[in-house]
Amino acid sequence: MKHSKRPVNRRTFLRTSLGAAAVGPLAGMAWKPYTGRGGRAEILRVAAIGVGGMGWTDLRQVASHPAVEIAGLCDVDSNNLGRAEELFPDAEPFRDWRELFDKHGNSFDAVTISTPDHMHAPIAMTALMANKSVYCQKPLTHTIYESRRLREVASRKPIVATQMGTQNASRDGKLQALAMLKAGAIGELQAIHGWSDRPAGWWPQGQDRPAGSSPVPDYLDWDGWVGVAPMRPYKADAYAPFKWRGIRAFGCGALGDMACHICDTPIQAFKLYTPTSAICEATDATEDMFPSKERVVIEFKGVKASGNKPVKLYWTDGGRMPTPQELNIRADYSLKQNTVAVIGSKATLLIQPEAGTPLLFRDGDPVDDLKLPDVPKQNHWHQWVDAAFYGNPTQSSFGFAGRMCETLCLGSLASRFPNQMLAYDAKKMSFPDFPEADKFVRTDYREGWAVDGLST
């Protein structure tokens, strides 16, 4: 494909449009040439895969780091690709990510992945196997097995920096909440409640597979979009863009979409990494789609912070939410959507990902004179770029994200068997009392789409 050559002063444009607000985690440290983990060059050459939707933000945020060169662009939608080419005329454009790796693999050090969920792991694994650093959108994966494999392979690649795209995890409020939980602000951990209003009419759930088909628009490579999933006919306004989220073949439903953003802080603070069971209450789950609303209860093995007693995460979506009393908060308090409440023996902490400041409640009332911990200013995207140079830890590395998303994939899987308690053996990644569920731990990739590291 030919790409346009427009004289854009990329660095100036990006620094003024995005970079001004971005402060790296190593603020105060002078930027040095790229001699860190890779030690190959002075610039981190990034290929961006999926550049519409959230990918458009990821592309510009990563590019606003002064040490980044956008070396490749890839999208199955030629309109989205064309828009990115206009901004980065020197980057090599591709419609097929496999070709990007095969033909252009020596020309980039790192990738961003902002495609629909079912393609995250295939592309991320291919990148890891090629020793590329990876910034991958949330949820990290589509299945339990993919989460486990990405975590395992990333752990054997100290040369690469990894980050899941939960950008709020690096915002002040979430970092403050994390520090407070780690410092024991709530006493002994008792329970976690997370909730979201999604799908909230933004995308369909609780329906049968969309019937009929439409002609594939000439700008879209539908075969590439379906990728590793079973082929189905294209239908306008049913899948691409954005509406694929509630469909099991492509997305992870409201829980998969939102719990990464909402529940990550307590899961990380308390290292809740061993889920032992999940149950989903829902009435309209279908074979093709996640339910329109649900309550999912995931139990974890006890951790030090819970006095080694098992801990339950109660998740509700589709508008269902807990009452303040269930959270040990006074009855007339007005709870907001998309929040997590972490309940302890001494207090409850409310964390609202986008609202910022965490709220601590003692004896049902908010603590007014709460002294919030100091946290360094972070930019999630730049933190990842810096990690490729300096090896600093990232907030949502695959080491953490793989663990959390394995649990969230378990929660999503439970909606296939409403009201069925699924005991989970994390060591074996299986359901000893309910083997029918085992076949959903991983999915077979479509013929011709085998992925090294995931298809064996």
Ligand X SMILES: NC(=O)c1ccc[n+]([C@@H]2O[C@H](COP(=O)([O-])OP(=O)(O)OC[C@H]3O[C@@H](n4cnc5c(N)ncnc54)[C@H](O)[C@@H]3O)[C@@H](O)[C@H]2O)c1
**Applying CB under 6 A, which of residues 224, 253, 275, 344 lies at the interface with ligand X?**
224
**Applying CB under 6 A, which of residues 23, 43, 53, 284 lies at the interface with ligand X?**
53
**Applying CB under 6 A, which of residues 23, 26, 54, 423 lies at the interface with ligand X?**
54
| 8 Å CB contact between 273 and 236 | no
Site for ligand X in 164-193 (CB under 6 A): 165, 167
Place of tokens 């494909």: 1
Q: Binding residues for ligand X, how many (CB under 6 A)?
A: 29
**Does the footprint of ligand X cover residue 242 (CB under 6 A)?**
yes
Stretch that binds ligand X, among 17-25, 27-35, 112-120, 437-445 (CB under 6 A): 112-120
**Does the footprint of ligand X cover residue 52 (CB under 6 A)?**
yes
**Does the footprint of ligand X cover residue 353 (CB under 6 A)?**
no
Place of tokens 């033909």: 103
Site for ligand X in 248-287 (CB under 6 A): 257
**Does the footprint of ligand X cover residue 117 (CB under 6 A)?**
yes
User: Which residue, 340 or 437, is less far from ligand X as judged by CB?
Assistant: 340
**Applying CB under 6 A, which of residues 116, 194, 275, 358 lies at the interface with ligand X?**
116
Stretch that binds ligand X, among 60-68, 198-206, 240-248, 405-413 (CB under 6 A): 240-248
**Does the footprint of ligand X cover residue 146 (CB under 6 A)?**
no
| Least distance from ligand X to the Cβ atom of residue 440, Å | 19
Q: How many CA atoms lie within 13 A of 444 on its CB side?
A: 6
Peptide bond into 241 cis (omega under 30): yes
| Least distance from ligand X to the Cβ atom of residue 186, Å | 27
Residues 6+ apart with CB under 8 A from 388: 34, 36, 37, 38, 44, 109, 110, 133, 160, 161
Rounded-to-integer distance, Cα 46 and Cα 109, Å: 6
Polymer length of the chain: 456
Residues 6+ apart with CB under 8 A from 440: 143, 413, 416
Strand runs labelled E in 172-309:
189-195, 275-281, 294-300
Distance of CA 342 to the CA centre of its chain: 21
How many CB atoms within 10 Å of residue 26? Answer: 17
> For the chain, what is the largest distance between any 2 Cα atoms, rounded to a whole number of angstroms?
65
Stretch that binds ligand X, among 3-11, 49-57, 277-285, 364-372 (CB under 6 A): 49-57
**Does the footprint of ligand X cover residue 317 (CB under 6 A)?**
no
Pairing of strands 44-49, 110-113: parallel
* Residue ranges binding ligand X (CB under 6 A): 49-55, 74-77, 80, 97, 114-117, 119, 137-138, 165, 167, 224-225, 227, 240-242, 257
